[in-house]
Amino acid sequence: MPETVFDYEHHLAACARGERQALRDLYVQESPRLLGVAKRLVRDSALAEDIVHDAFLKIWTGAGGFDPARGSARGWMFSVTRHLALNYLRDHNRELQGDVDVPDSTDTGDAQVHSAHIHRCLEQLEPLRRDCIVHAYVDGYSHAQISHKLGTPLGTVKAWIKRSLTALRECLG
């Protein structure tokens, strides 16, 4: 796996020193995955590119303030991107309008992921509760959108998510 040899912390530190080649390397390394995450959340290719553009500016300007003690540099890049996309979604109050039609989360891209710890923990959840977590994290659905999508009352969805997160916390540590 290339991520294990690519030194994200080293590249972020170089960004903090103003070395643009380091930002370029981070872009080459991670932009397709970051764009995939953003696209899945905002469901629009041009908008997803805007998010990734803003994310890389934040990575560039925030590199100096990045603290490796708080988590991995790679994880931070994903967090920056996700929260920009989530802010956009919530600020634009994109409630389900009937035209939101994304493939079922569990259908895509799951071949390569079963090794990861999180997925083993997810599998311990009941399928509907697992869907709640995936729709929220990967698709950016609000409680109301998940309730609509699954045809489950809002209160139930909220309770499922709360309990599923508690279960994930126990499983993941």
- Quote the Cα angle for 116-122-127, to 5°: 140
In terms of Cα–Cα distance, which of 43, 49, 149, 39 is closest to 94? 43
- Quote the Cα angle for 76-78-83, to 5°: 95
The least distance separating another protein from the CB of residue 65, rounded to whole angstroms, comes to 11
123 membership: H or E segment, kind and range: helix 117-123
Residue 141's contacts (CB-CB under 8 Å, 6 or more residues apart) are: 96, 135, 149
Per CB under 8 A, the list member of 7, 44, 45, 156 interacting with another protein is 45
- Does residue 6 touch another protein according to CB under 8 A? no
Per CB under 8 A, the list member of 10, 64, 90, 155 interacting with another protein is 90
Per CB under 8 A, the list member of 60, 96, 128, 152 interacting with another protein is 60
Q: Candidates 1-9, 21-29, 147-155: pick the segment binding another protein (CB under 8 A).
A: 21-29
- Does residue 19 touch another protein according to CB under 8 A? no
Q: What string marks each residue from 98 to 137 as x (binds another protein by CB under 8 A) or -?
A: -------x--xxx-xx--xxxx--x----------xx-xx
